[in-house]
Amino acid sequence: MGINPQTTHTNNHGIDRSRRIAFMTRGLPLLLLIACTIYTAVHVVQSDSERVRVLPKFLWLIIVLIVPIFGMVAWWIFGRPINTQYVPPQAPDDDTDFLRRL
């Protein structure tokens, strides 16, 4: 009298298939939300306070942490600093200060 393999839905590791599906549908989106919230919060903290748009930096951090999905989208669209002017790096032989020091 053994276990009927047709009535059980486990793989070789003993993980029930319905639990794996539940994790994939509930757990992965939650992990993705947590990871994106942490990434956005770190970006808010590391950004220059003078260049943050619309709200002060500490309010952006509170919004991102309290209302994660709305806060993240709002930060990336309205709050994050935008690099308005790109200044390419200067070669040493084009830098007059560097040439004077030689």
Whether residue 97 lies inside any domain: the answer is no
For the chain, how many structural domains are there in total? 1
Whether residue 4 lies inside any domain: the answer is no
The amino acid that residue 101 corresponds to is: R
Each residue's pLDDT tens digit in the chain (102 positions)? 555 555 555 555 556 777 778 777 888 889 999 999 999 999 999 998 888 889 999 999 999 999 999 999 999 999 988 876 766 767 777 777 777 887
Instruction: Look at residue 13 in the predicted model and tell me its pLDDT.
Output: 59
Whether residue 21 lies inside any domain: the answer is yes
Instruction: Look at residue 40 in the predicted model and tell me its pLDDT.
Output: 95
Whether residue 26 lies inside any domain: the answer is yes
Q: Global pTM?
A: 0.61
Instruction: Look at residue 89 in the predicted model and tell me its pLDDT.
Output: 67
Cα diameter, the chain:
92
Whether residue 101 lies inside any domain: the answer is no
Whether residue 89 lies inside any domain: the answer is no
**Which residues are paired to 10 by β-bridges?**
16
Range of the domain at 61: 17-82
Whether residue 36 lies inside any domain: the answer is yes
